[in-house]
Amino acid sequence: MTVEIPKTAMVLAAGYGKRMQPLTDNTPKPMLALDGKPLIGHVMDRLASAGVSRAVVNLHYLGDQIRDYLASETRLEIAFTEEKEILETGGGVKNALAALTESGTGPFYVVNSDAFWLDGYEDTLMRLAREWTDDIMDALLLLQGTVESHGYTGRGDFFADPDGRLVRRPESEVAPWLYAGIQILHPRIFADSPDGAWSLNVLFDRLIEAERLYGVIHDGEWFHIGTPDGLEEADAFLHEPFAGEKKR
């Protein structure tokens, strides 16, 4: 069966990266190096490999460094949206909707610019596209096992039923799955969304209530790069013996 890949992706790159200080004092987090390449460069590799043709990147903190780096990207058409103030994830995507839907009104990828993962048996972005079912879902999140991730120490985010529908973790419990920073969204969910700065969690909660938030469990390695220690752990993993076999 032919898989229809979303041709456009939103890459979230506007944040301050405060938990990565002092590394981010003069460098935006997406430009921090992992295995000799900026984090956002790894994201562009993944998008290009999956067949995405256009990436919309939001900018705020030290955005010129990101713009200058991506000036040499030839595999993808790059568009930028500037944020005068941080709009968070939901506001950032909504602010970029015109650019994201320039070529149509179908679903698009949203990827955190600091997301780093290794594919399992199939290209991860391809797998998300294959699992997308437009008539029953409005968002499809990549999930990682809470206890199987690198550098993550939290309680997880979601429980999933056998069909992949998601519900939130109750406050006092540990959930088996965490959101891995990679997803497919349909633009229709922004029709009555807030203005200004707000989190995509606002829409996730609405979609849970409507039973239209789904997840796919990642079958490869995933790294939580939230602190300098997390970045160091990811880099060390990639330089272990046989790391070449891991870089899929």
Residue 221's CATH number: 3.90.550.10
Domain assignment of residue 104, yes or no: yes
CA distance 116 to 197: 25
Domain assignment of residue 186, yes or no: yes
Residue-level pLDDT, tens digit, the chain, 248 residues: 678 999 999 999 999 999 999 999 999 999 999 999 999 999 999 999 999 999 999 999 999 999 999 999 999 999 999 999 999 999 999 999 999 999 888 999 999 999 999 999 999 999 999 999 999 999 999 999 999 899 898 999 999 999 999 999 998 899 999 999 999 999 999 999 999 999 999 999 999 999 999 999 999 999 999 999 999 999 999 987 655 454 55
Domain assignment of residue 2, yes or no: no
Domain assignment of residue 134, yes or no: yes
User: Count of domains in the chain?
Assistant: 1
The position carrying tokens 């008539």 is: 135
CA distance 127 to 215: 11
Q: Which domain holds residue 204?
A: 8-246
Closest CA to 139 of 125, 126, 128: 128
CA distance to 39, 74, 97, 103, per residue, from 227 (Å): 13, 31, 30, 37
Average model confidence (pLDDT) for the chain?
94
Record the tokens describing residue 12, joined without a space.
């979230």
Domain assignment of residue 3, yes or no: no
CA distance 220 to 237: 13
Domain assignment of residue 1, yes or no: no
pLDDT digits (tens, 9 = 90+) for 42-84: 999 999 999 999 999 999 999 999 999 999 999 999 999 999 9
Q: Are 241 and 38 in contact (CB under 8 A)?
A: no
